[in-house]
Amino acid sequence: MRNILPIRLDLLLLILGFLIVLGTSLVLGLIGHFFYWLLYDSFGRYEKRAKRKLKCINNQRDDEYYVIIIGTGFSGLGMAIKMNDLGMDNYIVIERYGHVGGTWYANKYPGCACDVPSNLYSFSFEPNPKWSHYFSRQPEIAEYLEYCTDKYNIRRHIHFNTNVTKLKWIEEQKLWQVTTQSNSQEKIFYARSIVLGSGPLSNASYPTDILGIDRFEGQMCHTAEWDQSIDVKNKRVAVIGTGASAIQTVPEIQQMNVSQLLVFQRTPPWVIPRLDRSITDWEKNLLKRFPIIQKLIRVIIYWIIESVALSFAYRWSLKFINDKLVKYNLERQVKDIELRKKVTPTWEFGCKRMLITNDWYSTLQKSNVKLITNRIKQIKSHSIITYDGDEYPVDIIIWSTGFQTQKFPLPVYGINGCSLTEQWSETIQAYRGVTVPNFPNFFILLGPNTVLGHSSVIIMIESQINYIAQAFLYMDQNNLRSIEIKEDIYEKFNKDLQLKLKRTVWQKGGCHAWYQDAKGNNTSLWPDFTWIYILLMKNFDYENYIFRT
């Protein structure tokens, strides 16, 4: 009893401190929200902005569009909806798959779900009262995006099953030449502007340091390219990786009557409990009848989650509280000392993506599950060999090894044939994550340093869409053919950004995550509160751009 009481008191104080921080963040956030409305949206200002339209409509040739949008995930669909709001019908959306949804169509592995609360992981202008859980599952998110596509009449603009193979700026015409391929046929379109909405998590990544991957004779797939024909029943299954996809799919696969499940771990993750539950029909009907309630819930969730930036970006005292709570969660769930050592990270909480789950640790302790921490050396026709010489027979290999976040897959050529791949060969960066020098009228959604480590990327996407829309309106009002960010502004922005990142947990936390390039530069994350980014993107800063008529 003497030992238990201090531990419980310590835990109680930690939780109390955590709740105080969250409560303070919520109160200050709601006050800030009110002043934001007062300054920007009150007295008809929001309605006035919403009524602004583009004038130059349908005055191009048949194969020339005002804008070509690439991708139909949240980014691409959100941009298409904004084009409709601007009164612009002369645009197309290019999608490589046969359905909308982007990553939420492609990722169909067992257990696939969002790790951001549903009410925050959706368009602010299109709340969904039908979510079945606090954290929505992949099929529901895919259905939501299909619904938005049809409600806003976007489908008629989409070219499905079409790959963009090259983008080239034609200086004489101030147009982008877009080369596409569909059904083995090449086609060329032209556009004044390009909006790249393919996102950083769109191309699966496989390890390059493991021999013999191509020699495996069993079934094999990546979580991002799930093979629906795979049947794991009574099979020996290996899941390689312990990141965000693995912690969702491993517990699901374990329940599918596998004879053995081998989990190959390179670095263990920090995990936090998933405060999830089913949403009752009564609640759904209430949200449908009173949409204002759902908007209020979204605001509350937003400001509570925003407080996490105090720990990750600013490393305030909340960091100490969070560290203690995640360690307590681990110790509570994993009693075996040896297993606990294997699943305890050596880096700070938050340095890599925090993973939200209730069944990761319990699954690793099941009788048919084995955690392997020795690195994989080689894959043979029916087995995996680690560097310590152990050989594990397997029937199925599932790669859960992330995405190619540091490799730009699309050939893009700007002014004087400048290659975006070559320009980004030293490090990937953009101005506010959206524009790049030498590439006029080229806009990126969820570009460099605008992914988040603590909140919903939909917030960032909507801010970027607003910024791009304002750029279009400014060009339209001033009869401009092209805009391009100034080199010195671009360089200064990214220099300041990297200096700020060096003080965050993502750089000082003692890990190497997918957020970083080979040199250790963080090219992925926004190093601050999202409300700062919202304010930064509120108005188009035309003085920082080069204009051509």
Residue 201 reports pLDDT greater than 80: no
Sign of CA dihedral 399, 404, 410, 411: negative
Residue 245 reports pLDDT greater than 60: yes
* Together in a domain, 174 and 189: yes
- pLDDT for 116-131, tens place per residue? 999 999 999 999 999 9
Residue 392 domain flag: yes
- Model confidence band, residue 303 (pLDDT cutoffs 50, 70, 90): very high
* Together in a domain, 139 and 261: no
Q: Which of 372, 399, 426 is the last residue in one of the domains?
A: 399
Asked if 381 and 217 count as a contact pair (C-beta separation under 8 A), the reply is yes
Instruction: Provide the CATH number for the domain around residue 234.
Output: 3.50.50.60
| pLDDT average, residue stretch 459-468 | 97
pLDDT at 324: 85
What is the C-alpha to C-alpha distance for residues 7 and 336, in angstroms, rounded to an integer?
Answer: 19
pLDDT at 59: 53
* Together in a domain, 143 and 219: no
Residue 508 reports pLDDT greater than 90: no
Full DSSP string of 371-405: EE-SPEEEE-SSEEEETTS-EEE-SEEEE---B-T
- Model confidence band, residue 4 (pLDDT cutoffs 50, 70, 90): very low
Measure the N-to-C terminal CA separation of the chain; round to a whole number of Å.
79
What is the C-alpha to C-alpha distance for residues 318 and 14, in angstroms, rounded to an integer?
Answer: 10
- Model confidence band, residue 433 (pLDDT cutoffs 50, 70, 90): very high
Q: Which two tokens stand for residue 125?
A: 């202008």
* Together in a domain, 506 and 389: no
pLDDT at 6: 52
> Which residues make beta-bridge pairs with 548?
482
Asked if 401 and 207 count as a contact pair (C-beta separation under 8 A), the reply is yes
- Model confidence band, residue 60 (pLDDT cutoffs 50, 70, 90): low
What is the C-alpha to C-alpha distance for residues 531 and 25, in angstroms, rounded to an integer?
Answer: 13
* Together in a domain, 233 and 87: no
Q: Which of 363, 379, 399 is the last residue in one of the domains?
A: 399
SS3 at position 185 = strand
Look up the domain containing 172 and give its range. Answer: 64-203+405-548
- pLDDT for 411-430, tens place per residue? 999 999 999 999 998 889 99
- pLDDT for 67-119, tens place per residue? 999 999 999 999 999 999 999 999 999 999 999 999 999 999 999 999 999 99
Q: What is the pTM of this model?
A: 0.93
Interacting residues of 534 by C-beta distance below 8 A, sequence separation 6+: 459, 463
pLDDT at 57: 55
What is the C-alpha to C-alpha distance for residues 203 and 224, in angstroms, rounded to an integer?
Answer: 8
| pLDDT average, residue stretch 248-260 | 95
Residue 46 domain flag: no
* Together in a domain, 136 and 263: no
What is the C-alpha to C-alpha distance for residues 409 and 503, in angstroms, rounded to an integer?
Answer: 30
* Together in a domain, 394 and 516: no
- pLDDT for 325-378, tens place per residue? 899 899 999 999 999 999 999 989 988 888 999 999 999 999 999 999 999 999
* Together in a domain, 377 and 438: no
Indicate the average pLDDT of the chain. Answer: 91
Q: Which two tokens stand for residue 92?
A: 């197309």
Interacting residues of 106 by C-beta distance below 8 A, sequence separation 6+: 97, 202, 224, 225
Residue 289 domain flag: no
What is the C-alpha to C-alpha distance for residues 301 and 50, in angstroms, rounded to an integer?
Answer: 26
- Label the pairing between strands 396-399 and 412-413: unpaired
What is the C-alpha to C-alpha distance for residues 67 and 64, in angstroms, rounded to an integer?
Answer: 9
